[in-house]
Amino acid sequence: METKKLEELKKSLQEEKKDLEENLKKIAKPINIQEGDYETSFEDIGTDKNDSATEVDQYTQNLSVESSLEKKLQNVLDALEKIEKGNYGKCEKCGKDIPLERLVANPSARICMDCS
Ligand SMILES: [Zn+2]
């Protein structure tokens, strides 16, 4: 892959990482930033019954949002790590190069179209 293209993809991955981290920080506390590991925070808004029900609802909602953001972030981190190691853009299943168009559309893609 051309260095210039790779730099562009790296840049969009870094932007995505920043966005994901910002969104995660709103609902979770970081356990391990390097590994993209977060824990959903439980917000204590009050002590009466209704407050507690709202807290639980909010927490349940945050849990699912947090886990999907965390998954995306880990994909992005993996992709950035691959760029560093020089094995970025290879399908994890068949080992072929993932077409550039696919990487542009989704820079953290792990597998090619044929394998997905
Ligand atoms: Zn493949």
From CA 104, how far away is CA 108, in angstroms rounded?
9
Spacing, Cα 98 to ligand 1 middle (Å): 7
pLDDT digits (tens, 9 = 90+) for 53-82: 888 999 999 999 999 999 999 999 999 999
pLDDT surpasses 80 at 12: yes
Spacing, Cα 109 to ligand 1 middle (Å): 11
More confident residue, 47 or 62: 62
- Which residues have beta carbons under 5 A from ligand 1 (an ion)? 91, 93-94, 112, 115
pLDDT class for 49, splitting at 50, 70, 90?
Answer: confident
Spacing, Cα 41 to ligand 1 middle (Å): 38
From CA 4, how far away is CA 113, in angstroms rounded?
23
pLDDT class for 51, splitting at 50, 70, 90?
Answer: confident
Phi, then psi, of 37 in degrees rounded to 5: -100, 120
Phi, then psi, of 44 in degrees rounded to 5: -90, 100
